């Protein structure tokens, strides 16, 4: 995919973003608000995975943090 806004986390992992630019990779996944129903990866923005599912609010903001 040529448009960075259309890439999923899987696309970035295939390009080894987590190795080449760890800071950019971390920005995609932290703090996670969604996860992929297909592969289980967690992301900040739903459009970064193929089958997004919003994380429940109580998981995102637990009192143990």
Domain ranges of the chain: 4-56
pLDDT digits (tens, 9 = 90+) for 24-34: 988 888 888 99
- The whole model's pTM is what? 0.63
How crowded is residue 10: how many other Cβ atoms within 10 Å of its Cβ? 15
More confident residue, 62 or 31: 31
For 1-65, strand residue ranges (E) read: 34-36, 42-43, 52-54
Cα 9 to Cα 22, 45, 62: the distances in Å are: 13, 10, 25
* pLDDT category of residue 6 using cuts at 50, 70 and 90: confident
So what's the pLDDT on residue 13?
Answer: 87
So what's the pLDDT on residue 1?
Answer: 37
């Amino acid at each position: 995919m040529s448009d960075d806004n259309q890439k999923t986390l899987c696309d970035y992992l295939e390009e080894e973003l987590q190795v080449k630019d760890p800071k950019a990779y971390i920005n995609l996944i932290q703090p996670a608000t969604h996860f992929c129903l297909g592969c289980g990866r967690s992301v900040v923005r739903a459009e970064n995975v193929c089958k997004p599912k919003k994380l429940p609010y109580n998981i995102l903001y637990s009192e143990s943090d």
